[in-house]
Amino acid sequence: MGKAKKNHKDINFNKSQYYFNRELSWLEFNRRVLHEALDPRTPLLERLKFTAIFSSNLDEFFMVRVAFLKEQVKAQLSQQSIDGRTPQQQLAQIYQCLHPMVMEQHRYFEEVLRKEMTSHGIYLLNYIDITPEQRSYLQQIFQKKIFPVLTPLSVDPSHPFPLMANLSLNLAVVVKAPNTGEEKFARVKVPNILPRFISLPQELQLNNGKSNYWTGVAIEQVIAHNLEALFPGMIIKEYHLFRLTRDADLELAEEEADDLLLAIQQELRKRHFGGSAVRLEIQPSMPHSVRQMLMAEMELTKSDIYEIDGLLNLKDLMSFIKLPLPKLKDPNWTPVIPHRLRHFHQPSKIANLDGEESNIFAVIQQQDLLVHHPYESFSGSVELFIAQAARDPHVLAIKMTLYRTSGDSEIISSLITAAESGKQVAAIVELKARFDEENNITWATKLEKSGVHVVYGLVGLKTHTKIVLVVRQEGEEIRRYVHIGTGNYNAKTANLYTDVGLLSCREDLGADLTDLFNYLTGYSCQESYRKLLVSPVSMRTGIIELIHREIAHCKNGNKGHIIAKMNSLVDAEIIAALYEASQAGVKIDLIIRGICCLRPGVPEISENIRVISIIGRFLEHSRIFHFYNNEQNEVYIGSADWMPRNLDRRVEAVTPVEDSDIIQNLQNILEIMLQDNRQAWELQADGSYIQRHPAADEPERSAQNILMQKIN
């Protein structure tokens, strides 16, 4: 049992000193991502992948979070963050933190990773270093495949400054007229519809006696060294690469929208060009005059400028992970079919559905089933469940939520099959899933055309919950089968994200999901559920009650223990409840991948709280909540982090797990993660993270590796 403190009621948990800033905590998370790119223990191509992920994460951070803060400053709002900072102070701190981090990323890529790539036969060349034969080949590629796509845009009194797309890579070109000597400015956009890196044919690759797997050049260098073709008769005086980031968060007045689908389509058009500029990445060689012109046209300040010495937009390094070099990657992992489902093999080889003993529903009737991705197969479990439901003649209805799904989704195909066969099929498609809006619109339209009842969620709320309800006729009875999970119904991310899901036919869960779907599709004021904790109606109070129950056990002289795994912890009310629990002697272990605004290890406040973050080959995405409950262990899983948006502005569902074997399994998973000494980082009271390392006499324990070994 943790150590209890006296007189804790006098402490005001509203003080900013007890909380970390949300934005800065996220930057610390991305610093841990960058560390995987810098860590020599990480295979080379995986380090390139983490370099790309770091850049991709930053793009979204600027498009959403920095844009939000800049809008607050523009509106002269002074509302303080949970840690007492104004929007302006947060922006200043972000810039102070980010500049050296970005410089470290690019310096490491240029000085270390590029050299290591070369040592393994991967040559990303600079155009000025290529051979005449290579240059001739690239000039032909330019003329045939690149030049026809390019559109140079001049800037003069008759040509206003061109509108530049979000995340576009551009060349600022200064040309001079040979007769008058007059200098003019033009912009050339690097087309993102073409590959970023142009590979050379085998006969033109470097031959230095070493293995050579790939040789190529960045497309912007090929364009830059062939600018004469774009400006014939002009003298190319100079060119400079730059990249623009815009505000890309959608602003929807949902209550005023007659057609939500149309409203989002209109907003998406604005995203690419209409958002205000929030960041400009340039190369140090860009002269002051060009820099000032770009800043003025885009209404940016000096603190919005990021000088990049080397290759811009390292996000595109992700393409190198496809190279056939297994020794430079993590060992290959193939998800395992859950043991109880192995006789089904693949969804395409579904057993005889008329034999009740041979379908997945019979398996679920025997006992609830936990699936753990990507250790266990998504296609061999969740997709199998929905595919069999779609084809089973005894199934009457299928209802499910779709927040993010993949472009070639088997689930979408199954829903269409079910609808075309006459089943009642309802899909709640969240059109407001950030950066997946276009994809979701495409699938929503396709589903509607096939006869699926498509609902676009609720006004003012995002439908983030991950649930499926299957209604099946079994003799004279109707039985309801459910899947309640922590991750999206997306086969691609199911191979990359860790998630858990529960398959069950418990009557109380089936009744709860029926009520929840009625809330999502119709006019329902449902506020109470039998088992589920549902946002925004009951989850906040439910979680706090569970925390307070552990406090009561400690006050009665018993043990109190909470283990909670999630992506982010931001909500001040829940953090205050955890502080109160720590003071009462409750031991609290938090496994939080990303943002954590709770400050652990503060005397008299949170000395019984430990926070770790695990960053590895898989993105930790599962939400698992364990409450000791005086030896009557309770475990919950679901879609919600402990953030205000998840508790107040989204539809979420968290379910208790009641099967004792599954409870033990989830406890084991949590314990394995708490013992990680390879990819776990411990949050300190000052906001920094220290990575764990095994002691001299201690074996290395990577939670993700251990879970892969155990599942086989």
- 121 and 232 housed in the same domain: yes
Percent of the chain clearing pLDDT 70 (strictly above): 89
Q: Which of 270, 294, 328 is the last residue of a domain?
A: 328
Distance CA 501, CA 637 (A): 8
- pLDDT-derived band at 351, boundaries 50, 70, 90: very low
- pLDDT-derived band at 684, boundaries 50, 70, 90: very high
Mean pLDDT computed over 658-673? 98
Between the ranges 224-228, 262-266, 346-350, 427-431, where is the mean pLDDT highest?
A: 224-228
User: What is the model's pLDDT at position 444?
Assistant: 80
Domain assignment of residue 37, yes or no: no
- What would the pLDDT profile of 553-586 be if each residue is shown by its tens digit? 999 999 999 999 999 999 999 999 999 999 999 9
pLDDT at 311 over 50: yes
pLDDT at 357 over 90: no
Q: Which residues of 192-208 are buried (b: 16+ CB within 10 A; e: fewer)?
A: eeeebebebeeebbbee
Percent of the chain clearing pLDDT 90 (strictly above): 76
Mean pLDDT computed over 381-386? 96
pLDDT at 272 over 70: no
User: What is the model's pLDDT at position 205?
Assistant: 77
User: What is the model's pLDDT at position 159?
Assistant: 62
Pairing outcome for strands 477-485 and 466-474: antiparallel
Closest CA to 391 of 426, 427, 422: 422
Mean pLDDT computed over 612-627? 97
User: What is the model's pLDDT at position 251?
Assistant: 52
Q: Return the CATH number at 74.
A: 3.30.1840.10
Helix H segments across 405-538? Answer: 410-420, 437-449, 507-521
User: What is the model's pLDDT at position 340?
Assistant: 93
- 299 and 412 housed in the same domain: no
Pairing outcome for strands 650-657 and 462-463: parallel
- What would the pLDDT profile of 189-204 be if each residue is shown by its tens digit? 999 999 999 999 988 8
- pLDDT-derived band at 296, boundaries 50, 70, 90: very high
- pLDDT-derived band at 424, boundaries 50, 70, 90: very high
- 289 and 378 housed in the same domain: no
Distance CA 219, CA 467 (A): 44
| Separation in Å, CA 100 to CA 94, 108, 307, 315, 608 | 11, 12, 11, 18, 34
Mean pLDDT of the chain: 90
Domain that holds residue 415: 339-529
449 φψ region: left (φ > 0), alpha (ψ -120 to 50), beta (else): alpha
- 80 and 182 housed in the same domain: yes
- Host H or E run for residue 563: strand 561-566
Write down the catalytic residue from 225, 240, 464, 626.
464
Mean pLDDT computed over 654-665? 98
| Separation in Å, CA 599 to CA 230, 551, 589, 645 | 57, 19, 13, 20
Domain assignment of residue 33, yes or no: no
User: What is the model's pLDDT at position 459?
Assistant: 73
Q: Which of 328, 362, 394 is the last residue of a domain?
A: 328
Coil, helix or strand at residue 337: coil
pTM of the full structure: 0.92
User: What is the model's pLDDT at position 433?
Assistant: 52
User: What is the model's pLDDT at position 523?
Assistant: 67
Domain assignment of residue 27, yes or no: no
Q: Token pair of 585, please?
A: 């002697």
pLDDT at 485 over 70: yes
Domain assignment of residue 350, yes or no: yes
Distance CA 610, CA 682 (A): 8
- pLDDT-derived band at 252, boundaries 50, 70, 90: very low
Strand partners, 184: 175
Residue-by-residue DSSP string for 630-693: TT--EEEEES--BSHHHHHSEEEEEEEE--HHHHHHHHHHHHHHHT--SSEEEEPTTS-EEE--
Residue-by-residue DSSP string for 186-200: EEEEPPTTS-SEEEP
Q: Return the CATH number at 472.
A: 3.30.870.10
User: What is the model's pLDDT at position 527?
Assistant: 79
User: What is the model's pLDDT at position 243?
Assistant: 96
Domain count for the chain, please give it: 3
pLDDT at 712 over 90: no
Domain assignment of residue 29, yes or no: no
Domain assignment of residue 300, yes or no: yes
- 312 and 344 housed in the same domain: no
- 436 and 372 housed in the same domain: yes
Mean pLDDT computed over 387-410? 89
- 545 and 522 housed in the same domain: no
Q: Let me know if 464 is a catalytic residue.
A: yes
- 624 and 662 housed in the same domain: yes
Domain assignment of residue 506, yes or no: yes
pLDDT at 273 over 70: no
Domain assignment of residue 38, yes or no: no
Mean pLDDT computed over 281-303? 92
pLDDT at 315 over 90: yes
pLDDT at 16 over 70: yes
Q: Token pair of 51, please?
A: 């370099």
Q: Which of 529, 552, 577 is the last residue of a domain?
A: 529
- 517 and 478 housed in the same domain: yes
Q: How far apart are the two ends of the chain, measured CA to CA in Å?
A: 35
What is the rounded radius of gyration, in angstroms, for the C-alpha atoms of the chain? Answer: 28
Lowest mean pLDDT among 116-130, 354-368, 465-479, 505-519: 354-368
Mean pLDDT computed over 703-710? 96
Dihedral (CA of 79, 84, 86, 91) sign: negative
- 636 and 557 housed in the same domain: yes
- 601 and 696 housed in the same domain: yes
The count of residues in the chain is 712
pLDDT at 253 over 80: no
- What would the pLDDT profile of 86-127 be if each residue is shown by its tens digit? 999 999 999 999 999 999 999 999 999 999 999 999 999 999
Distance CA 119, CA 173 (A): 35
User: What is the model's pLDDT at position 430?
Assistant: 79
- 514 and 597 housed in the same domain: no
